[in-house]
Amino acid sequence: MIASLDIGGSKLAVALVQGSELSQRRQIPTPQDRRPEAMLEWALELLQPLLPRAKALGVAATGTVYQGKVTAPNPRTLPWVEVDLRGQLSRRTGLPVFVLNDADAAAWGEARYGAGRGVQNFVFVTVSTGIGSGLVLDGALREGAELGFTRVADGRFLEHVASGTALDVWARERGWKGAAEVVERAQTDPEAAAQLDWSARYLAEKLEDLRVVLRLERAIIGGGLGLAEGYRARLQKWVNPALAVVAARLGADAGLIGAADWVERRLDADFSETGVG
């Protein structure tokens, strides 16, 4: 089996994974102390019961991943700059370790076992606190496709105008509780409906550009806002019908499943591999 670790801004999760089946799944909220050394200790404590049955470790980590090192885009979420996660985990566990960006891992999980199964060209987008994305072309994962940090017409990043956080800010300026209340009010309140439409339209315009340039067949949408009632219909309204906008199927476990499958394939491709990812 493959041990899998998901490191995010809101949770640490681990499991043993075989195919799409998880066992010994454990999860805790992301600790308040988010320094790399502190997070590593928490991760190792969660992983310890799984290691005797694991032949390798797959990691889905928020942030930019290069040669197993992780840099978080928002230092307030994780104060990480080129943290050698692969090296440290490999030394501490004695296992081959492979590291993927969490949205890339989720995209690969959806490709193998979820809404992207059998689809050659698609983008996975999680719309939540931020906007994460993973791209699959010709059936292969293209790592590092950060849609949230592309710019919209006025020069701002997509994540800063279309994420759940952006909707939270708008809502609280009006004395509302946050993005969830905007979604709820959008059923009857024209102002809330218009704001939700604008949020979705920013993302939809990016999806339509990707469809034209990359000939995408599907956009798979996840995340708390992305899976909210009516949100995907708003996206579909602004893109060509040739691009199907569908819900992600694997939920919160997509990263765990995708990272584990990625490891399995890397091991199958090169039995001598001991830590590239």
- pLDDT for 218 equals 97
Q: Is 195 exposed, middle or buried (0-12, 13-18, 19+ CB in 10 A)?
A: buried
- The domain of 231 spans 118-248
> The whole model's pTM is what?
0.91
**Rounded-to-5 percentages of helix, strand, coil across the chain:** 40, 25, 35
- pLDDT for 41 equals 96
Q: Both 53 and 122 in a single domain?
A: no
Sign of CA dihedral 175, 181, 185, 189: positive
Residues above pLDDT 70, as percent of the chain: 97
- pLDDT for 151 equals 96
> Looking at residue 263, which CATH number applies to its domain?
3.30.420.40
- pLDDT for 258 equals 97
Query: How many independent structural domains does the chain possess?
Result: 2
pLDDT band at 272 (very low <50, low <70, confident <90, very high): very low
pLDDT band at 72 (very low <50, low <70, confident <90, very high): confident
Domain-located, residue 161:
yes
Residue-wise pLDDT tens digits, 207-254: 999 999 999 999 999 999 999 999 999 999 999 999 999 999 999 899
Q: Both 144 and 186 in a single domain?
A: yes
Domain-located, residue 113:
no
Domain-located, residue 110:
no
Average pLDDT rounded to a whole number, residues 156-175: 95
Residue 276 reports pLDDT greater than 50: no
Beta strand pairing call for 83-84 and 97-101:
unpaired
Q: Both 258 and 243 in a single domain?
A: no
